[in-house]
Amino acid sequence: MTEGEGMTISRREFAGVALGAIAARAQESERKVGYAMVGLGRISMQHLAPSLKASKIAKVTALVSGHRDKAEKMAAEYGIPAKNIYSYENYDAIADNKDIDAVYVALPNSMHAEYTVRAAKAGKHVLCEKPMATTVADAQAMIDACKKANRKLMIAYRCQFEPTNLRATELIRSGRLGKIQGIESANGFNIRAGEWRLNMKLAGGGPLMDVGVYSLNACRFLTGEEPGDIKANWSVIDKDGRFNEVEENLGWTMRFPSGIVASCNTTYGANMPGFYRVHGTKGMLHMEPAFGYEGIHLTAKIQGEPAIDEPNPEKDPAQFTREADHLANVILHGGELRASGEEGLRDMKLMMEIYRSCGR
């Protein structure tokens, strides 16, 4: 074969190369991001993992658990091979598993930092439950580790992807309610004795670090502003032994740069359906439930307009599919995360200010 002959390609060969390239692109477009569930508790195996069955771009490919028998049962349900079941001891070996693109960290709060940092060092992206950590230093360490590894870190603020909450944000930021004057929000439940959330070492705090963060983040997300001038109080009313380490009730106020004043409450002592109410010069908006996995319901009364009554008919786990897909899409195609580690860090700093204000 001469040099010229070596440079020649037949129509059949060209067609084969072209079809191969098309097939490769199609295969890439069909590739699903593989998630490893780190911790097989309620939120991971009853919400996030089932949500990925509905995803077109993500799936569960691995499990990390301290209970092998539990993990094997879950693996059988999701078609996960035995080689993709890990313990906390051999967790770092996920670095060698190409089936895993990202991990979902759903462990007690104080363990978020360690398993996020280890995931980053293993070359994996991270979707971490909120609050992202129990200290500002740990939250910053998580961000730094992921940046160093060039991996994405997303915090699981699923309400930031829920259509009805986005609709409320649009009504507020577009000026439909006029100038916003005040916001009220609350979220809480009556906690059972023995929950890990009552352990200060594991939780890092009481209801503020669990359900109260929803109200805090909602106020920031709805307004697009960062608050200051925080004043807070806490209490323990039920002397039944549940609250020897963490607060039972906590309330706080905060002032935003525009002058909006928000008042929030959270509790582990009573069922307090999550809601927020926003008051503007032209009307009022009410979301209840605001933070649940389903049944989100928006109502609003705006001067000169028909009343708004918009329930979201989506069922659980649609919200989880949406947030997992967001990270998966960024992994596959690039772009910016809506709920990055920096977003979680801002909430961490504010929660520490709230605790300092009330002397906890």
Say what the pLDDT of residue 27 is. 42
Say what the pLDDT of residue 184 is. 98
Q: How far apart are CA 51 and CA 45, in angstroms?
A: 9
Tell me how far apart the terminal alpha carbons of the chain are, to the nearest angstrom.
83
Say what the pLDDT of residue 29 is. 53
Listed by start position, the domains of the chain span: 29-158, 163-311
Say what the pLDDT of residue 229 is. 96
- Which residues are CB-contacts of 185 (< 8 A; sequence separation ≥ 6)? 214, 215, 218, 219, 262, 263, 264, 265, 274, 275, 276, 277, 290
- Is 214 one of the catalytic residues? yes
Closest listed residue to residue 151, CA positions, set 132, 128, 123: 123
208 and 188 in contact (C-beta within 8 Å)?
no
- Which residues are CB-contacts of 330 (< 8 A; sequence separation ≥ 6)? 152, 154, 336, 337
52 and 118 in contact (C-beta within 8 Å)?
no
| Mean pLDDT per 10-residue interval, the chain, length 360 residues | 38 42 45 97 97 97 97 97 98 98 98 98 98 98 98 98 98 98 98 98 98 98 97 98 98 98 98 97 98 98 98 97 98 96 98 95
Choosing from 35, 78, 104, 214, the catalytic residue is: 214
Burial class (CB in 10 A: 0-12, 13-18, 19+), 41: middle
- Residue 150, Cβ neighbours under 10 Å: how many? 9
Closest listed residue to residue 234, CA positions, set 269, 185, 194, 200: 269
- Residue 343, Cβ neighbours under 10 Å: how many? 21
- Is 83 one of the catalytic residues? no
Calculate ∠ Cα 354-356-359, nearest 5°: 110
Say what the pLDDT of residue 6 is. 37
Q: How far apart are CA 177 and CA 184, in angstroms?
A: 15
Calculate ∠ Cα 71-156-250, nearest 5°: 110
Assigned fold of 29-158: Rossmann fold (3.40.50)
CATH code for the structural domain at 163-311? 3.30.360.10
Q: How far apart are CA 338 and CA 327, in angstroms?
A: 9
What pTM does this model have? 0.91
299 and 97 in contact (C-beta within 8 Å)?
no
Q: What is the DSSP string of 17-47?
A: HHHHHHHHHHHHHH--EEEEEES-SHHIIII
Say what the pLDDT of residue 281 is. 98
Choosing from 35, 86, 115, 130, the catalytic residue is: 130
221 and 209 in contact (C-beta within 8 Å)?
no
Q: What is the DSSP string of 254-323?
A: EE-TTS-EEEEEEESEEEEEEEEEEEETTEEEEESS-SSSS--EEEEEETTSPPEEEE----TTHHHHHH
Q: Which residue has tokens 């200290």?
A: 135
* CA 258 vs CA 153, 180, 223, 227, 230: distances in Å: 30, 9, 9, 9, 15
